[in-house]
Amino acid sequence: MASLDDLKKRITSVKSTQKITKAMKMVAAAKLKRAQDSAEKGRPYSEKMNNIILNLSSGISDKEAAPKLLSGSGKEQVHLCVVLTSDRGLCGGFNANIIKKAKSYFAKLNKEGKELKIITVGSKGNDQLKRVYGNKIIENISFKNSKNVNYFDAEKVGKIVIEKFEKEEFDICTIFYNQFKNVITQIPQAQQIIPLNTKSDDQNNSEDNYEFEPDEDEILSNLLPKNISTQIFKAMLENSASEQGARMSAMDNATRNAGEMVDKLTIEYNRSRQAAITKELIEIISGAESL
Amino acid sequence: MSDEFKIEIVNPEKSFLSKDDVNEVVVPAFEGEMGILKDHISIISFLKPGIITIRAKSGEEKYYVEDGIIEFKNNTLSILTSYILNLKDIEKNKLQELLKNAEEESNKPEISDQLKYLADQKVETLKSIN
């Protein structure tokens, strides 16, 4: 059995860990509020963008001449996967979930004999993927220095993706991120952004007769690159809200566990203290009796 | 009043502006300035760098945009833009910085004609604000 001193030390150390996790939980809660706000505020933009593109693509006359970003390069050989993760750890299963989703997708591609290229955004994803897929990672982007998610960062990623597409380095691009559902649940998502998935819901689309200035093709070719950045931005916003949510619940759990541990250790401490006292008393009494 | 319509300006970060007492909006569309009044035909177009003028019942407002897409439908004008500034709030040194960046961009040798045109537009607009 551990000595009294050892137990005391352990209790203090668990308590100070608990203080840290508690503080981290509070910070995450405050950040979550902000991240959730900006995720909500960012939604109208990407929704409107999507609507306009749907309207445009349904109105486009010649499918063959459609921009490549919309129709794809006609092949499906090389896949580019953009894996969005966080830069910081201690957020529960947040990164692990994305990586798991991505890895199962990679395995599927491997089986089908497709070529794979990976761009990681966020250092945690890079750390985990480089062990197995190190030679597939063609770029690692990290926004450690940006305080909040902002559009220009997303645009940078978007530009890299588009540049590579124009050089025909890949045919299909998929982004992986966590969608924020609530604090406890984050759903890992795989979303294909090139070629764009234009499964329209077919509601009143055909009735809108738009006038286009200049013509559809030109607007589309201008709009699609922007849409890529917008989708990435949306994913980044969702991701940052998810990250804070995951961290909050992870830290909440850690705080609770630390509390339980302190309780258990305190009981053990008290017991051994009592045992020591009883032992001393017995010694004194039996000493007195023997006299 | 019956000749008013709704305008919404959104940028990626948030909903920038929303008004429903607008009489006329002039936007710098790609092929020239375009004035939009109520009951305009549904239209989609995109913007070049320039000034958006909103004439509303509550007064006239001007905004500087670098790019964007507009959609007008059912008397609602939606403007999506990645960079927008209210001319009223714009600061002198910020303006200078934008101008400097735009000039640098337009002087790059490897730039395509269209980008060059856009950058020149930017320079021109920024100069006119000054």
Q: Where are the domains of chain B?
A: 5-86, 92-129
Cβ contacts of A209 on chain B, cutoff 8 Å? 42
Q: Is A74 left (phi over 0), alpha (psi -120 to 50) or beta?
A: left
Which pLDDT does position A261 carry in this prediction? Answer: 95
Query: Quick one: B5-86 is in which CATH superfamily?
Result: F0F1 ATP synthase delta/epsilon subunit, N-terminal (2.60.15.10)
Considering only alpha carbons, which residue of chain B is nearest residue A233?
A: B12
Query: Which tokens sit at B79?
Result: 């403007």
Q: Cα(A173)–Cα(A165) distance, rounded to whole angstroms? A: 9
Specify whether domain A28-250 bears CATH 3.40.1380.10: yes
Q: Is A204 left (phi over 0), alpha (psi -120 to 50) or beta?
A: left
**ipTM beyond 0.90?**
no
Query: Which tokens sit at B28?
Result: 């710098």
Task: Say which of B29, B31, B71 has its CB closest to residue A52.
Answer: B71
Cβ contacts of A49 on chain B, cutoff 8 Å? 69, 80
Which pLDDT does position A249 carry in this prediction? Answer: 93
Which pLDDT does position A204 carry in this prediction? Answer: 47
Cβ contacts of B42 on chain A, cutoff 8 Å? 208-211
Greater confidence, A212 or B33? B33
Query: Which tokens sit at A204?
Result: 């009143």
Q: Check if A91 is active-site.
A: yes
Chosen from A50, A146, A157, A226 to mutate, greatest number of chain B CBs within 10 A: A226
Cα distance from A79 to chain B (closest Cα, Å)?
Answer: 27
Greater confidence, A214 or A16? A16
Banded model confidence at residue A1, pLDDT cuts 50, 70, 90: low
